[in-house]
Amino acid sequence: MYFALNVQTVCNNKLQIIDIVSRWHGATHDAYIFNNSRLRARLETGEMGEGILLGDSGYPIRPYLLTPLQNPQTPVENLYNESHIRTRNCIERTFGVWKRRFPILSLRMRVKIETAQQIIVATAVLHNTAVSKRLAEFEEVENNAAALEEPDIVLRAESNGNDFVRQQFINNYFRSL
């Protein structure tokens, strides 16, 4: 039997995983996972400070969570989208390093779903330890695991009135560049 998990992961610029949610089935929408996460609750109460998260278009726009513009109209909006993409690239790099360290993450695990969830979180903890101790990455094993990956399905989250927050951020930080 095969099942998929949708794992919400947040990383920092050092490729350390700073938040992970590994309990939702693969068909669960990103916005639903986020809206039901402790991270969202902590961000809503201001417990996490004044930082900003970047998410793809599957996430809702919030004062603390910015997504790319679907149809940028101006050079400033294009610059925002390009910067958003470049900055979000650290999560893709984190996934790459994490999967190279733990190739089981790129394969279909033949374990109970609860065990798979625990493996994912345990490898995230071990990945962070390796990053903090500056351990070298393992050489990539040639098993063509990338061919086994399922494609991501990106759905546009509904606008929740926070488009203004994103536009204000763009105007404040990208107009003068």
The fraction of the chain above a pLDDT of 70, given in percent, is: 86
The predicted pLDDT at position 157 comes to 55
pLDDT one-digit tens code per residue, 82-106: 999 999 999 999 999 999 999 999 9
Rounded CA gap, 34 and 47, in Å? 16
pLDDT one-digit tens code per residue, 14-48: 999 999 999 999 999 999 999 999 999 999 999 98
For residue 135, pLDDT beyond 50: yes
The predicted pLDDT at position 18 comes to 97
Q: Which residues have CB under 8 Å from 93's CB, separation 6+?
A: 15
User: 51 falls in which pLDDT band (50, 70, 90)?
Assistant: confident
Tokens of 64: 């603390």
| Cα angle: 167, vertex 170, 96; to 5 degrees | 110
Burial classification of residue 83, based on how many CB atoms lie within 10 Å of its CB (0-12 exposed, 13-18 middle, 19 or more buried): middle
User: 143 falls in which pLDDT band (50, 70, 90)?
Assistant: very low
For 65-79, what is the mean pLDDT?
A: 96
- Split into its structural domains, the chain has a count of 1
The predicted pLDDT at position 133 comes to 96
Taking each helix axis as running N to C, give the angle between helix 75-101 and helix 113-132, from 0 to 180 degrees, rounded to the nearest 10.
Answer: 100
Domain extent, residue 96, equals: 5-174
Is residue 57 within 8 Å of 156, Cβ to Cβ? yes
